[in-house]
Chains A and B, each alone.
Chain A
Amino acid sequence: MQRINSLFRMVPVWLVYMGGMLPAGVLFYQGLSGALGAEPIKALEHEYGELALQLLVATLAITPLRRLLGLNLMRFRRAIGLLCFFYVSCHLLVWLLLDVQLLGQILADILKRPYITIGMAGFVLMLPLALTSNGISVRRLGARWRLLHRLTYPAAFLGALHYVMLAKGFQLEPLIYMGAILLLLALRLPSVAWPKLA
């Protein structure tokens, strides 16, 4: 594990940012060129949303990975969290500008449709997290920063719930995300005394 940790230490954080943003552009280009199929708007909306969920799972996994396996990816956590927020924003923008398009219907949908209300609530919870993901905020907020960033937990749950609720019929994929997120949240319960696996 020590070897893997020192290998990861050689990866510069900016590379994670660059590599993480790359799919956004590639997907948008694929949408323009027809590579996302006959209905690129929905496909793009879905791809961005799913990437956001994957990054959410990744941020939540960093602490358990360190505690259980001794794998230290702490220095990438902020980048992964901000990338997650970036993809949530892309997902939201595609929905607003390309999908629904009409302001009246956007507002009606947010109020009237529970899965959209929940998705929006998740986004709103992520806003202060994204805004305080910088060194100055960490120093200024001190202990309150850690407290504030526990908002990640409800935000993650709402994100997974949003996906579960929008699926038509009984579908496996959203339930897998929900399961993974619930498991990662459960690992944080103070009563759970997890043994070190490595």
Chain B
Amino acid sequence: MAHRWKNDLSDADVTPYAAFLNRRQIMAGLGGAAGLGLAGLGGTAARAATEEALEPNSWEDVTTYCNFYEFGTGKGDPAAYAGQMTTEPWSVEIDGLVERPGSYSMAQILDAMTLEDRIYRFRCVEAWSMVVPWQGFELADLLNLAGVQDGAKYVAFETLYRPSEMPGTAYNVLDWPYREGLRLDEAQHPLTIMATGIFGKPLPNQNGAPLRLVVPWKYGFKSIKSIVRITLTDQQPQTSWNMANAREYGFYSNVNPTVDHPRWSQASERRIGGGLFARREPTLMFNGYEKDVAALYQGMDLAENF
């Protein structure tokens, strides 16, 4: 699954940021028009049209409205305090059921990977959403770099835990370090990426620099930030929110409008950036990626395995 697509562009070919946004707006306009024309053609066409119409949120929205509890529980805390996190040098420990365990430096990883752009919907469990233009590489490629052993069934991730640079960790909001996990097939799915940038720029610290997971069909908290450890295991790993409150945050945490969070409905969401009078929008099954990922969960009761 690695290297299906080769990037033959260099830095010189990168579209300037402003032009990039302009282009997105034009594309969104075209997509909207196409959507009107295709509205009668049923689900697939309508879905393709909405896919085209994905217009990224602003840089401001994406970098100032964040959850990164290591820096505080307020939405603005990460932008205010994450700047003090040292992200260079950075290395990721890859261990467990892999053929080449060890400490992989960022340079080592980036040398072996091909960065690409992915514009994804991002849906938080708190019922807000954004559209983010990520840069990154498929997690499957990184797993191949380390070599997955036959017995591996799950992938566990850990966020950096460095109290001297993370004021939020002074409180036991969660059991630090932050942990997340995926089933191996979820981790190897082509939609699952490791992001290193947004809007063509390096990932800001508050968004999980220098390396974070992005799993677009799951609630945002699955997309663990500032990763320092990846462990391949044959056991379902513990995940922070599931440990804190298993009734509210399941291991799978797939975006599912029919399974409510016990304290609020997940049927609708509000797109960030719409201002004080923004309307709610219906939430899509698997955050709109149903066609791509529904097969992963065939035969599973998703109300049980939420």
Contact = CB atoms under 8 A, between A and B. Distances in A.
Given A168-B73, A170-B173, A171-B171, A38 B263 contact: no
Contacts of A115: 263
Describe A's contact surface by its main secondary structure. helix
Contacts of A172: 171
Contacts of A100: 280
Contact of A98 (B60, B69, B173, B277): B277
Nearest to B57: A38
Nearest to B62: A38
Given A44-B276, A105-B265, A108-B265, A37 B76 contact: yes
A101 B278 CA distance: 10
A189 to B, nearest CB: 31
A98 B276 contact: yes
Interface residues of A, number: 28
A171 B77 CA distance: 14
B161 to A, nearest CB: 16
User: Contact residue range for chain B?
Assistant: 20 to 34
B273 to A, nearest CB: 6
Given A44-B276, A105-B265, A37 B64 contact: yes
Contacts of A40: 275-276
A40 B272 CA distance: 9
A38 B65 contact: yes
Contacts of B65: 37-39
Interface string B245-274: 100000000000000001111011010110
A38 B61 contact: yes
A97 to B, nearest CB: 9
A168 B245 CA distance: 9
A169 B73 contact: yes
A32, A34, A170, A172: which has the most chain B beta carbons within 10 Å?
A170
Interface in A109-166: 109, 113, 115, 165-166
A102 interface: yes
B10 interface: no
Contact of B75 (A31, A39, A165): A39
Interface string A25-66: 000100110100111111110000000000000000000000
B280 A38 contact: no
A101 to B, nearest CB: 6
Given A38-B64, A39-B75, A101-B280, A169 B69 contact: yes
A166 B262 CA distance: 11
Contact of B270 (A41, A44, A169): A41
A115 B248 CA distance: 14
Given A28-B276, A39-B65, A113-B263, 11 more contacts: A31-B276, A37-B65, A38-B65, A41-B276, A43-B75, A98-B276, A101-B280, A102-B268, A169-B244, A169-B245, A170-B173
Closest 9 A-B residue pairs measured CB to CB? A38-B65, A38-B61, A169-B173, A31-B276, A40-B276, A38-B272, A170-B173, A170-B172, A169-B174
